[in-house]
Structure 1
Amino acid sequence: MKLHHVPARTGLHWVRLGLRTFARQPLAMGGLFFMFILAVSVLAMVPLVGAPLALALLPAATLGLMAAAKEADRGQFPMPIVLASAFRAGRERARAMLLLGALYAVGSLIVMALAGWLSGAPTLTLESQDGQPKLEEGALLRNLAWQGVLYIPLGLLFWHAPALVHWHGVHPVKSLFFSWVACWTNKGALLVFMLGWSAVFLAVSLVLVLLAQWLGGASVLQVLMFPVAALLSAAFFTSLYFTFRDSFLTNDGQPPA
């Protein structure tokens, strides 16, 4: 395995590949994403341990969606079992993915704790009319802003890590290092990739607003917003596979997966 440097314009190519592959199998990719969101949401509701467990499963779930994108790119119909790909490649790979998930959960909890401390968001004020404690709006916005900033390095560490662990048996700790280096090597392409997806989300949002105004206003927008956002998110996760595929080469110069 070796790093593959790609030009910045490749970021737009990844966006197009994600949208095109999703369009080939919209029911499969959309359904798998809804299953992923449902499973994580239900698990997160378990008292005390639910949220950390949900965080720990995110790398494996992301890998499952990448595996589904790989099948869809090859013209195959991804079945629901593909979401469990991380745990169907042998005991050693499953243990490695669980360790990677544990590292992600710890990192996420640290990010949330730091964001709360830096923003003062844990402070509650009695602002609601019924006397119930309500989080100060300014502190909440600061907390979200700090989380967004602090999640960037965490996201880069784990961007390619699940794929490296699952498809190439890289040790979880080493996969974090390789993921960071690969993201830094192709930072121009990743920046264009994120800007491209931001433009897609913005364009679709504007279309939804105009459509809602034409059809009946805010109530229509509320009905359309969640399913459309979920489908776009599924297309985004579909495109993650291509960012991995083009960022590494095997020793014979071929894409790794």
Structure 2
Amino acid sequence: MGLPLLTVAPARGLRWIAQGWALWRRRPLSLTGLLAAFLLLAMLLVGLVPLAGTALALALVPSLSLGYMVAARSLQAGGPVHAGQLFAGLRHPRPAQRRAQWQLAGAYALLSLGVMLLSDTLDGGRLQAAMAASADEGAALPDTDALNDDGVAGALLLRLGLTALLAVPFWHAPALVHWGGQGALQALFSSTVAVWRARQAFTIYLLTWGALVALVTPLLVLLLHALGGASLPNLLMLPLALVISAVFYATLWPSYVDCFGEPGAAGATSATPTAPDSDPPPADGA
């Protein structure tokens, strides 16, 4: 199938964040709840079957990305946002699309496990041990003392770098399967090409996210310390992380539209039928 790749201006990277924020503000509890539901499912999988559960949780990450795009498109059109949208791709009415989504899920899980294994091999498992210790203390990342260890810091940077590279082919791939009707390999290739063509916009997008997280989070922590002492920041860091992550996932939809056009619109990726409760007709405009 022919696939138009649209030209994306560098400034659109900033616009994606603004659009994601605007979408989140329209339905903050629902969009944050999608991520909370996914994390709860992932925790249940890991808790019930530790080894296989980790692989299953990782395999569902592409579904999380697509679920947010489906939810954002629905919200833009005045439709509902619900947890069932997280599985829109895996229950696509066309068997070929469902099969391609499962292939993406399996590939993402295997590659993510490979990144973890490589990191653990290079640092002797010190990063994994530091992250486990931090998790026991309620922190998302190893503390400063752990990061002062060159091996742990290097393994963390390696894991973050490889994960970022892995995100490139999977950025648009689930949506290209879902709405564009592409196979798994074709979708991974198309996503890589699209991200490369829009690399200036994505660079601005990622740098802006990094600046926001680096500047806003410490300021909020200091403010919470001033208002409630030492315990309040720890209590609110998880909700804050959920909100930031929900806004991030809401930006995936405008980035897809800018790269490939609105599904079903003239000159955009070919629309394919989807479950009626997961993907309402598109709204006008991106």
Tell whether the structures are fold-level matches, with TM greater than 0.5: yes
Superposed displacement of residue 31, structure 1: 1.0
The amino acid of 1:162's aligned partner reads P
Corresponding residue for residue 53 of structure 2: 50
Using the alignment, how far apart are the partners of 1:189 and 1:15 within structure 2? 11
Equivalences for residues 140-159 of structure 1 within 5 A: 140-159=152-171
1:60–1:84 CA contact under 8 A, matched in 2 = yes
Question: Does the CA-based 8 Å contact 2:19-2:254 persist in structure 1?
Answer: yes
The residue that corresponds to 2:24 in the other structure is 22
CA contact (8 A) 1:56 1:104 kept: yes
2:70 to 67, 72, 75: 67
Q: Tell me the SS of whatever aligns to 1:89.
A: coil
Aligned-partner Cα distance in 2 for 1:173–1:54: 21
Contact 2:120 2:128 in 1 (8 A): no
Is the deviation greater in 50-59 or in 38-47? 38-47
Shift of 1:44: 2.1
Where does 1:68-83 land on structure 2 (aligned, <5 Å)? 68-83=71-86
Conserved? CA contact 1:5–1:186, under 8 Å: yes
1:219 lines up with 2:222 in the alignment: no
Question: Where does 1:25-44 land on structure 2 (aligned, <5 Å)?
Answer: 25-44=27-46
Q: What CA distance in whole angstroms lies between the structure 1 residues aligned with 2:153 and 2:178? A: 37
SS in 2 for 1:157: helix
Distance in 2 (CA, whole Å) between partners of 1:43 and 1:225 is 24
- Does the CA-based 8 Å contact 2:63-2:89 persist in structure 1? yes
Contact kept? 1:156, 1:179, Cα under 8 Å: yes
Would you say the 8 A contact 1:246–1:255 is kept in 2?
A: no
Q: 1:184 — aligned with what?
A: 196
Do residues 88 (structure 1) and 97 (structure 2) align? no
Q: Helix, strand or coil for the counterpart of 1:86?
A: coil
Q: C-alpha distance in 1, partners of 2:11/2:127?
A: 44
User: C-alpha distance in 1, partners of 2:175/2:125?
Assistant: 35
Contact 1:57/1:98 (8 A) holds in 2: no
- List per-residue Cα deviations over 1:35-63 (Å, max 9, x = no partner): 01111121122132111111111111221
Q: What CA deviation, in whole Å up to 9, does each residue of 1:78-111 have, x standing for no partner?
A: 1222122112322332221111100111111111
Q: Deviation per CA, 1:109-161, whole angstroms, max 9, x where unpaired? A: 11112222333336999xxxxxxxxxx94233322111011112211011111
Structure 2: gaps spanning 5 or more residues: 130-144, 271-281
Residue 182 of structure 1: how far off its partner (Å): 0.5
Structure 1 residue 255, shift from structure 2 partner? 7.1
Report % sequence identity: 36
Name the TM-score, length of structure 2 as normaliser.
Answer: 0.80
What is the rounded CA distance, in whole Å, between the counterparts of 1:164 and 1:217 in structure 2? 48
Q: Which residue of 2 aligns with 1:10?
A: 12
Partner of 1:133: none
How high is the TM-score relative to the length of structure 1?
A: 0.88
Q: Which moved more, 1:107-116 or 1:219-228?
A: 107-116
Structure 2 match to 1:104: 108
1:217 Cα deviation from its structure 2 partner: 2.5
Determine the C-alpha separation between the residues in 2 that align with 1:124 and 1:43. Answer: 19
Q: SS where residue 110 of structure 1 aligns?
A: helix
Shift of 1:254: 4.4
Letter in 2 for 1:253: G
Structure 2: which amino acid aligns with 1:60?
S
Residue in structure 1 matched with residue 136 of structure 2 by the alignment: none
Unaligned runs of 5+ in 1: 126-135
Contact 1:115 1:150 (8 Å CA) reproduced: no
Shift of residue 220, structure 1, vs aligned partner: 1.0
Partner of 2:206: 194
1:168 maps to amino acid: G
The match for 1:117 is 121
TM-aligned CA distance change 1:165 to 1:255, over 3 Å: closer
> Counterpart in 2 of 1:162?
174
